[in-house]
Amino acid sequence: MTDHTSHAIRLRSVSRRYGAGDSAVTALDGVSLDFPRGTFTAVMGPSGSGKSTLLQCAAGLDRPTSGSVVVGGTELTGLSERRLTLLRRERVGFVFQAFNLLPSLTAAQNVALPLRLAGRRPSRSRVREALARVGLADRAGHRPTELSGGQQQRVALARALITRPEVLFGDEPTGALDTRTGREVLALLRSMVDGEGQTVVMVTHDPVAASCADRVVFLVDGRPAGELTGAGADAIATRVTRLEAAPC
């Protein structure tokens, strides 16, 4: 018998189609994947392969057309919108490439936002703890325009972590950063997995970023196309190049 508690996320035969008839587009086509707790997984593949759709379905941001998504033992398929919203607020963290910080709020206020939206009053100590976790304890009173790109992304990370989520999802979280700053954010994610047992699932186009993960899952045309475990950037880049090579 499979131990369901050892997996933060389980996808079984997940498909996602948009539209109907001849114009229908299949973004995911019968995907079955497990994401073990306390691991760092990168998701890669050619443009249009379904990477972001996979992330959104796994995080409960989008509903699959068919199949099963289980997060921390909870089946998402039959949940009402209200219960799905509560699950996302309490058990899932999401970090976007564009940071999505509110410019009129300070770093501390941005970090506290998920708890306020949930009707909870965040304690100052909890907000300080989240900012300290990403190395920004001294930037609590700064607004986004007063922070570098890397600092803004770390505020976005702290905001995603304030609810202590079971899974942290990142959709190209280093895509808008320069190389050095991107590496700092990746090192932070890696340390959260190794030191705190956080589960991280990240979509990326960057083989170097993917090499920070425990494993890399590849998608092509909405289907899994193999994976690599503990691979370096060169091996990952070679696999991506093969997947992207169009037949003559």
> What is the per-residue pLDDT across 175-223, written as a single tens digit (0 to 9) for each?
888 888 889 889 989 999 999 899 999 999 999 999 999 999 999 999 9
Section 168-174 average pLDDT: 91
How confident is residue 97, by pLDDT bands cut at 50, 70 and 90?
A: confident
- Residue 211's contacts (CB-CB under 8 Å, 6 or more residues apart) are 231, 232, 233, 236
In angstroms, how far is CA 221 from the centroid of its own chain? 20
**Residue tagged 């379904």 (tokens):** 50
How confident is residue 247, by pLDDT bands cut at 50, 70 and 90?
A: low
- Residue 147's contacts (CB-CB under 8 Å, 6 or more residues apart) are 107, 139, 155
Whether pLDDT at 170 is above 60: yes
Residue from 46, 82, 60 nearest 11 by CA: 60
Q: How far apart are the first and last CA of the chain?
A: 45
> Does residue 51 or residue 244 have the better pLDDT?
51
Strand 66-71 and strand 74-75: the pairing is: antiparallel
Whole-angstrom Cα distance, residue 166 to residue 190? 15
Helices and strands (DSSP H and E) totals, the chain: 8, 10
pLDDT score of 120: 85
CA dihedral 27, 32, 38, 40 (to 10 degrees): -40
CATH number belonging to the domain at 4-244, selected among 3.40.50.200, 3.90.230.10, 3.40.50.300, 3.20.20.70: 3.40.50.300
